[in-house]
Amino acid sequence: MPQKKAVPWNKGLKGWTEGTKAGFQKGHPNYHTEESRRKIGDFNRGKRMAEETKKKISMANTGKESWNKGKIAWNRGIPMSKEAKEKQRSAHTGPKNSQWVDGRSLLPYSKSWRKIRKEIFELYERKCQLCNEQFVEKKLRDKNFITAHHIDYNTQNNDRNNLIALCNLCNVYVNKNRDFWKELFSLIKSSEIPDRYDYE
Ligand SMILES: [Zn+2]
């Protein structure tokens, strides 16, 4: 019987920047900064992702310790003073809010979404689960920031198990190969990694 062989996490995937090269060309409005190009480079070579993901996969497989052990529980509220709440509310209400879309943020749905999103950011310590970069709270002009990604791509499904922290750069790329990402993120969430991601 042939020996089991480790394969890279991204085996069989097409280049993740495929079809997006126009966005990276000099002079193009979306031309990346040195920083973001470095990140994309690292990611493309699969180094950082491989290390981080392999760690999670191996932890899940050994059954010794969950990769998310010691992280804050989903439902654990972050205590906040009334003053701080009000300050935050007034600073992010209406058109000033980056999520503002023709008044839709006035719906109760949005309020809970903001809260859920914040919990997701806290849970992952504001670290992108693909490139592992950590992001501070978004300021108006920040080009790179943390987002909450819907694992099943259904933006109405705000179940905490359906959300994972990704930076805006990585979030763009998970729109391709959706089945792959959906499965990988689900597995990371449940810490159940099937053999085929490790062996062939
Ligand atoms: Zn990222």
Domain borders along the chain are 21-71+124-197
- Return the pLDDT at 6: 62
- Return the pLDDT at 194: 47
| Spatial contact of 144 and 137, defined as CB atoms under 8 Å apart | no
- Return the pLDDT at 141: 84
* Protein residues near ligand 1, an ion, with CB under 5 A: 128, 130-131, 167, 170
Distance (angstroms) between ligand 1 centre and the Cα of 106 equals: 29
- Return the pLDDT at 29: 47
Tell me the C-alpha distance between 154 and 93, whole Å: 25
The mean per-residue pLDDT over the stretch 52-58 comes to 67
- Return the pLDDT at 187: 86
pLDDT band at 180 (very low <50, low <70, confident <90, very high): very high
Distance (angstroms) between ligand 1 centre and the Cα of 43 equals: 9
pLDDT band at 175 (very low <50, low <70, confident <90, very high): very high
Higher pLDDT, 149 or 9: 149
pLDDT band at 23 (very low <50, low <70, confident <90, very high): very low
- Return the pLDDT at 199: 40
Distance (angstroms) between ligand 1 centre and the Cα of 170 equals: 4
Distance (angstroms) between ligand 1 centre and the Cα of 125 equals: 13
Evaluate if residue 159 carries a pLDDT over 60: yes
- Return the pLDDT at 163: 94
Distance (angstroms) between ligand 1 centre and the Cα of 189 equals: 17
Question: What residue type is assigned to position 24 of the chain?
Answer: F
Evaluate if residue 20 carries a pLDDT over 60: no
| Spatial contact of 134 and 125, defined as CB atoms under 8 Å apart | yes
Tell me the C-alpha distance between 97 and 140, whole Å: 10
pLDDT band at 138 (very low <50, low <70, confident <90, very high): confident
Most confident of 54-58, 84-88, 112-116: 112-116
List the beta strands (DSSP E) in 6-142: none
- Return the pLDDT at 73: 61
- Tokens linked to 147: 């987002």
Total number of residues shown for the chain = 200
Evaluate if residue 34 carries a pLDDT over 70: no
Question: What residue type is assigned to position 167 of the chain?
Answer: C
Tell me the C-alpha distance between 94 and 99, whole Å: 9
- Return the pLDDT at 25: 47
